[in-house]
Amino acid sequence: MKDWMKAIPESELATYKSAGFLTDMKIGARAALIVVDVTYGFTGFEGQTLEESIAEFGSACGPVSWVAVPKIAELIEMFRTRDLPIVFTNSNGTDVPFAGKATKSKRTKAPPPRHNDFPDAITPREGEWVLGKTKASAFFQTPLASYLVKNGVDTLVFCGVSTSGCVRASVVDGFSNGFCTFVVDECCFDRSQFAHSANLFDINAKYASVVSLDELAQLMPKAKSTDRAA
């Protein structure tokens, strides 16, 4: 049993299964990766405690972020080697400040410097879309759905932060827009382990298949060969 599932009472797991929840989805013909808000504003700097990260950024999740970042980098590479679309989200600080706008948080300070910067390990490459958003969902009043349809995408794979907030909101909207939806569990993180586990369980029950990196690799098409004829 996966670690995040251990927080769920066995009786409740049985109830959900008997009601027809917790079924698996299938990868479609073309998948896209949505990397939700993995910026310093939500990670803090590597080596900081949770308290130090929050003191600097307010919204940061601290050390759990840096457990997930190398795994997110591996997931991104999985999509790059298959030449599949990758969308990175961050806050749209130009029009509407992110702080205090995406949730009911009472934080009112403007985001500090580097809030919107991506850690080096997952910095978007040229041609990869960075989508600024003002609310929790990557779909809310953004052109994301149109972009995905234009690129022939039928399956979405999500990772990022926070599991209980922007990831969950984006997954629900992705499912509601008719996409097959997947979440990679060790590539998501949250400032609360309880919220992380409970939301992965509920997402897996209702809106997506929650899988590991290894499980996703088994479901994905093979990577494109980079060999060229001499």
Listed by start position, the domains of the chain span 27-38+64-78+119-127+136-219
What is d(CA 170, CA 207) in angstroms, rounded to the nearest whole number?
11
Give the integer Cα–Cα distance in Å for 202 and 205: 5
Name the pTM for this structure: 0.88
Element (H, E) at 148: helix 144-150
* Mean pLDDT, residues 54-81: 95
Q: Is the peptide bond before 162 cis (omega within 30 degrees of 0)?
A: yes
Average pLDDT over the chain, rounded to an integer = 89
pLDDT surpassing 80 at residue 92: no
The active-site residue, picked from 166, 180, 187, 188, is 166
Domain 27-38+64-78+119-127+136-219 class in CATH: alpha beta
Q: Measure the CA–CA gap between 37 and 145, rounded to whole angstroms.
A: 18
Helix 193-206 crosses helix 168-176 at what angle (to 10 degrees)?
Answer: 10
Alpha-carbon distance of 194 to 197, in angstroms, equals: 5
Query: Across the chain, where does the E strand assignment appear?
Result: 31-36, 86-91, 129-133, 155-161, 180-189, 209-211
What average pLDDT score do residues 90-105 get?
Answer: 58
Q: Are strands 209-211 and 180-189 parallel, antiparallel or unpaired?
A: parallel
The pLDDT tens digits for 180-205 are 999 999 999 999 999 999 999 999 99
- From 149, 140, 143, select the one nearest 178 (Cα to Cα): 149
pLDDT at 99 (0 to 100): 42
Q: Does the active-site annotation cover 166?
A: yes
pLDDT tens readout for residues 135-182: 999 999 999 999 999 999 999 999 999 999 999 999 999 999 999 999
